Copies of this chain bind each other. A is one copy, B any other.
Amino acid sequence: MTTPTTRGDHRPGRLHLNAFLMSSGHHEASWRLPESAPDATGHHIAHLQRLARIAEAGKLDSVFFADGPGLQGEVGRRPAGVLDPIVVLTALAVVTERIGLIATASTTYNAPYNLARRFASIDHVSAGRAGWNVVTTAGPDIARNFGLDDQPAHAVRYERAAEFLEVAYKLWDSWEDDAIVADKESGVWADAARIHHPEHAGTHFSVAGALNVPRSPQGRPLIVQAGSSQDGKDLAARYAEAVFTAHQTLGDAQEFYRDLKSRTLAAGRDPEHVRILPGIVPVIGATEAEAQARERELDELIQPEYARGHLARLLRVDPADLPLDRELPADLPSEDEIEGAKSRYTLIVRLARRERLTVRQLIGRLGGGRGHRTLAGTPEQIADALQEWYDDGAADGFNVMAPVLPSGLEQFIDHVLPILRDRGLFRSEYEGTTLREHYGLARPASRYATAPAATAGI
């Protein structure tokens, strides 16, 4: 790893850290380790509650769950069942007090009224800690669970996502903060003039409203976005407050960072109001050799045939066209031809070409973090690598993807965080109580507010 540059004066804040949680860990073979318990899956809530409490003890900004409403790919080679993310977030909200809670939900396979209501509800139950990772959900397998033969086209999905968000914003704003008066004497419980009916009529949606949930503590949940295609970046520039992204090199990450911040400015928003968090997979050892041994231990548990099938689906080729000990075929589709996970596709192809990896080597590189950057080293080396990206304008923080859970998250908190704290780069205690406060973002006023809105929730 390179020596970090001096921290620039232009970045006075601290970095933001999200724990991306996933069953027994992000490494696809993590469940096969001796340490992994049978209940370290996405359908055992006690496991997920334990992980959230660990992240909260580390004072992380938030925890996050990916999601798609379907079983995808070959079933049976790694933990596959996952509870509904709204249920998961609620169960975590009840057993935690400060950490932010971010769930993924699809704008393609939900109705805006129902989903806006669910996130407002979680924001109430968690006292202002809800976040929504907005996805358009790629893949024909999932489309077939919802009466479609194939997914809607990429551009159509993103157009629908933007309108979905407009509708959701109107619904979240539909009760002014001070709509509830609860005057027993006069019998007026709410001021009907402060409950608004959006009457949205658009291309994809027609929604009367109002929402049947009063305005929530954060006004609306934190909006997160994780697609890095052109459409994805444009959606993020208009709406996102935090962005999860995947980059292998500092240069790629810096380019993405500059691009998204300038798109945000062009969309009429303050670039400081979107936090960019590249994913990292920390493989931590007391020595560099120990970390590398851990990485090897995990990679040797990968099942190459299974992983090759997964790679083939991602690249839209036949598994037989991917001999394990050769490089990727020359004639792969261009990103334009890919209808889902466009930017991930490009990242993987570029990684393989740049480093002239065989399919087997590529599978090893992807097994840990599916295209995210793996950092195998000592706590000091990992802290250096994070600081470098932070100082050099590639990140406002990181999406921490522990290869093994809970141990990888515990190691990160116990060994990497103290170094970041010593350098003044990460908080020692929560300063706010809401997810927006953790990310340094203001509570939005209702667009319908007829009088100065209260700053606290109702």
Contact = CB atoms under 8 A, between A and B. Distances in A.
A87 interface: yes
Among A94, A188, A205, chain B packs the most CB atoms within 10 A around the CB of A94
B141 A208 contact: yes
B189 A87 contact: no
A124 B83 CA distance: 8
Contacts of A75: 190, 192, 195, 210
Given A69-B212, A188-B77, A208-B141, A45 B117 contact: no
A187 interface: yes
A374 interface: no
Contact of A76 (B31, B33, B192): B192
Contacts of A147: 205-207
A8 interface: no
A124 B90 CA distance: 14
Given A189-B78, A192-B74, A205-B147, A121 B84 contact: yes
Contacts of A81: 175, 180, 212-214
A354 interface: no
Contacts of A111: 109-110, 146
Given A94-B94, A109-B114, A121-B87, A144 B189 contact: no
> For the side of the interface on A, what is the size category?
35 or more
Contact of A31 (B74, B90, B122, B182): B182
Contacts of A144: 206-208
A113 B145 contact: yes
A71 B36 CA distance: 47
B87 A184 contact: no
A22 B2 CA distance: 61
Contacts of A86: 84, 86-87, 90, 118
Among A29, A117, A189, A209, chain B packs the most CB atoms within 10 A around the CB of A189
A147 to B, nearest CB: 5
Contacts of A124: 43-45, 83
A385 to B, nearest CB: 31
Interface in A216-237: none
Contacts of A110: 111, 114
21 contacts: A29-B187, A32-B187, A38-B182, A43-B213, A43-B214, A69-B212, A70-B113, A70-B212, A71-B212, A74-B192, A75-B190, A75-B192, A76-B191, A77-B188, A80-B190, A82-B213, A86-B86, A87-B121, A109-B114, A110-B111, A146-B207
